[in-house]
Structure 1
């Protein structure tokens, strides 16, 4: 995804996408979109390795889905800066509608569900969010907050602005597929509590993205 950069500013940005920690529905393999449940009781232990790996980073800006599981993750991995996080509903997972809380085994005999599995961009769960709406809100976030943001948005503590985005698995997969066009949606595997770093480098009037190892 190459977006024209309309402001003068930093030539390089480093974005760390962080998937929220584990919930009970993740363990039970239930579809979890907009349903607002929190992390498991042992979240502090689960998030400890990630918290340690990023403890030396002073984030220039932090974005976070407004859902509870992401806010709790932010509080555990960056407690000193969590209050500075900008909560953004555009970073929510896709809404699975009437399929929220259900499992594959509970849905596998439903023809509508089978159609959705085969073509999620063309089929919408009953009462759920169309793929086009999901994609549009994330595209808007990427352009406004990561690619076309004014340098004044950043605190300026790092040579290359360090940006954290605490969000959901589907959002991370989609965002990386847009930032790195050679990667498809399913090419990025992200487990709860995992972080993936993407480096953005300005080339003339557009940004070129690459995934780098993390931490």
Structure 2
């Protein structure tokens, strides 16, 4: 049995604006940096065999805030990237709806095989994205010698693992939280995931963040 700490990256300006990020390489904003420092302090005494991260900066910088105080390296995994949304990336919902109404409708009804128009990058279908991310997470979990690892990633990846663990269909709307800088504890027994604790952001309490500010 291995424990996975699935961690969503800290906040970005595009998170605040509700602008779709996907494969766009958006950095953490000031709040996201504070969140990451608080996250690193929360996990400083927790044994970890490895720290893996998406190669996008918002995840990597979050992972480095965990790894650096521990003297550990971050191992990059492109398979932990967010889903690529093609031409949707960089836009907010009303803009997508206005420009691509049929594709937007397919997104909102969670059509698992819908492929959106290409933009800077070629869009993935939801089915392709789920297969890609689950293969990556399971491969890392099955690595010999691992007992507890941290995977710093994106909201879509957390959504996929949660659905796999609970048997929740991709066609159903999300009814669980996927929060910036949250710790989501999941076990893997070689065949199945199980949720231990989800959406833990207790380390982001105002007092903790204020303390971080005084240390900078």
* TM-score for the superposition, normalised by structure 2: 0.79
Gaps of 5+ in 1: 1-11, 155-160
User: Deviation string for 1:32-82 (max 9, x for gaps)?
Assistant: 100011100343322333222212113101110011111111112332347
Decide which of 13, 32, 51 is 1:24's aligned counterpart: 13
**Aligned Cα RMSD in Å?**
2.1
Aligned residues: 191
- Structure possessing the higher relative contact order (Cα contacts under 8 Å, 6 or more residues apart): 1
Find the residue that maps to 1:142 and give its secondary structure. Answer: helix
Which segment drifts farther, 104-113 or 79-88? 79-88
Given the alignment of the two structures, is residue 177 of structure 1 paired with residue 163 of structure 2, yes or no? yes
Runs of 4+ in structure 1 deviating by more than 4 angstroms, as ranges, are none
Residue 184 (structure 1) shift: 4.9
Q: Residue 116 of structure 1 contacts residue 122 of structure 1 at CA under 8 Å; is this kept in 2?
A: no
Find the residue that maps to 1:101 and give its secondary structure. Answer: coil
Query: Partners of 1:82 and 1:89 in 2: how far apart?
Result: 23
* TM-score for the superposition, normalised by structure 1: 0.79
Q: Does the C-alpha gap of structure 1 residues 44 and 116 become closer, same or farther in structure 2, counting only changes over 3 Å? A: closer
Q: Residue 199 of structure 1 contacts residue 212 of structure 1 at CA under 8 Å; is this kept in 2?
A: no
Query: Partners of 1:34 and 1:208 in 2: how far apart?
Result: 26
Higher helix share: 2
Gaps of 5+ in 2: 203-216
Find the residue that maps to 2:178 and give its secondary structure. Answer: coil
